[in-house]
Amino acid sequence: MPALTPEQRAALVDGQLADLADPAEVIDSHLMYEGRVWDIRRDRFRLGGDEIERDYVDHTGAVAVLAVDARDRVLLINQYRHPIRTRDWELPAGLLDIPGEEPLAAAQRELAEEADLVAGEWREIMRFATSPGGSDETITIFEARDLAATPEVYARTEEEAELLLRWVPLDEAVEAALAGRIRNSILLIAVLAAHARR
């Protein structure tokens, strides 16, 4: 991959604020570790005349759902997250781990599986890279409205066996985010984006 052209530099510095899709030439790529949920990959690539080697989490990607009821409350779930040793508040969410499944279908599936809800109205509100220096994971957040109960209640296992659900006014969720009482990045991004778009 060559260095940035003068036109690319000008567009990044002076143009509309936006990321620039500019994939480097990958010379070599090896799966270093195959995990249960995600893998570790090592790539060697060309960037501006140099060869660089980086390890990163090779992730399937994920979706999350900001479910909003008629009273402008958002549905939060609480579950244990071992890496941070915390029962944190989150949105219904899950991996894009079914081959060929579109993000919207995955979001609909996760809302049903984790909250026993279906929605009549869906829209994508945000797509972001969780940690672009160390992972290729991207998450798409959907807003779901016109909610109703699923015909059946899903059986939950492992961390999901102790899920707690709570409906919270959006303003309360924003206040908790700004006060630092909730830390889940997906939840923070979703509620702050929803608040900003009001």
- Whether 102 is catalytic is no
State the virtual CA torsion across 116, 122, 128, 131 in degrees, nearest 10.
10
* DSSP H or E run through 26: strand 25-34
33 three-state secondary structure: strand
Question: Dihedral sign, CA of 185, 132, 18, 97?
Answer: negative
Which DSSP string do the residues of 45-67 spell out, in sequence order? EEETTEEEEEEEEE---EEEEEE
Which DSSP string do the residues of 68-93 spell out, in sequence order? B-TTSEEEEEEEEEGGGTEEEEE-SE
Q: From the candidates 101, 113, 160, 175, which is the catalytic residue?
A: 160
Closest CA to 188 of 123, 139, 118: 139
End-to-end CA separation in angstroms for the chain: 42
Residue 121 burial by Cβ neighbours in a 10 Å radius (0-12, 13-18, 19+): exposed
Q: Which residues are known to be catalytic? A: 160
